[in-house]
Amino acid sequence: MFKRPRRNRKSSVIRKMVQENRVHLEDLIFPLFVIEGDNQRNEVSSMPGIYRYSPDLLKDEIDECMNLGIKSFAIFPSLPESKKDKMATEATNAEGLYLQTIRDIKESFEDACIITDIAMDPYSSDGHDGIVQDGKILNDETLEVLGEMAVAQAEAGADIVAPSDMMDGRVEFIREALDDANFEDVSIMAYTAKYASAFYGPFRDALDSAPKFGDKKTYQMNPANRREALIEAELDESEGADFLMVKPALPYLDVIRTLKQDFDLPIAAYNVSGEYAMIKAAAQKGWLDGLDTMQETLLSIKRAGADVILTYFAKEFAELRNG
């Protein structure tokens, strides 16, 4: 035998020397949930170890993460039902919870990269990402709202806005709205291939944002489709996106690979709430080793081709790295 692949596996030093992919702390974005109030911290029951924080405690959490080497955060608001309406008006309230919190974080942490979410669902009494009329989700009317959200978030200091709504034409609409308001430096991380997935369940628990009727299948993608992701990616790229995202990550590693091969923009993958919950639940039962499974999972997403990973494991991963 001249060829013995095991020779490159014989010691830890050699294994690491020939390792093809690595997860760096710089690759990770930590999603965080903010709630109203002071000194509030409550755990999302379907996401052990993940909390909704009031703005004061959210800042402490960001401070801890920054010290561990996590510098990028995707922030989502969890609002009481009383703040929601059909037009998601709270989404552009500069004095409201979300925009105030973003402003405050940017003032306190100059070096943090803050990614804001553009979609109506956290503020919508219908629990949908767009405007609902007669049981339909309106596309073009929703764009107006999304454009206003983008500008309001940029005014609050967002470094990157991330449209997660899956309306057609939203990247171009948002890019133009931002440029018109002189925010040409604010980036767009487009949720390009966002599938209508059952893995979002725990996130909707966290935000109490499940659709009040129907599902999101008329705007989010069919899990059966891979080539359709190329159509979405071509649109987002030509409309001015700075990042293309695939979401969820694990059940769509092939889609991550496809976009990585065909596009030169950075590829982000969202390791979503349900992917986190499954590992946590199995680990709590002693059925899987939580830390090993987490590391293998993040590595698989990198190997598939993701440059950036949004993951609820970010802090835990950083703690592990910091020993």
Calpha distance 225→233 (Å, rounded):
13
Residues 83, 216, 247, 302: which is the catalytic one? 247
Answer yes or no whether residue 142 interacts with ligand PBG by CB under 6 A.
Answer: no
CB of 119 to ligand PBG, least distance (A): 3
Calpha distance 156→116 (Å, rounded):
10
Q: Which of 90, 121, 126, 236 binds ligand PBG (CB under 6 A)?
A: 121
Answer yes or no whether residue 164 interacts with ligand PBG by CB under 6 A.
Answer: yes
Q: How many residues bind ligand PBG (CB under 6 A)?
A: 12
Catalytic residue flag (residue 106): no
Answer yes or no whether residue 298 interacts with ligand PBG by CB under 6 A.
Answer: no
What does the block give as tokens for 175?
């890019």
Calpha distance 138→119 (Å, rounded):
13
End-to-end Cα separation, the chain, in angstroms: 41
Contact 154, 185 (CB under 8 A): no
Answer yes or no whether residue 219 interacts with ligand PBG by CB under 6 A.
Answer: no
What does the block give as tokens for 54?
């009031």
Catalytic residue flag (residue 83): no
Answer yes or no whether residue 123 interacts with ligand PBG by CB under 6 A.
Answer: no
Contacts (CB under 6 A) with ligand PBG, residues 176-215: 200, 203-204
- Which residue stretch of 17-25, 54-62, 92-100, 115-123 sits at the interface with ligand PBG (rule: CB under 6 A)? 115-123
1, amino acid identity: M
C-beta of 47 vs 178, nearer to ligand PBG: 47
CA max distance for the chain: 72
Contacts (CB under 6 A) with ligand PBG, residues 236-275: 272-273
Answer yes or no whether residue 129 interacts with ligand PBG by CB under 6 A.
Answer: yes
C-beta of 90 vs 121, nearer to ligand PBG: 121
Calpha distance 140→230 (Å, rounded):
22
Residues 83, 84, 194, 260: which is the catalytic one? 194
Calpha distance 256→208 (Å, rounded):
29
Q: What share of the chain is helix, strand, coil (3-state, %, to 5)?
A: 45, 20, 35
What residues are labeled active site? 194, 247
Q: What residues make contact with ligand PBG under the rule CB under 6 A?
A: 117, 119, 121, 129, 164-165, 200, 203-204, 216, 272-273
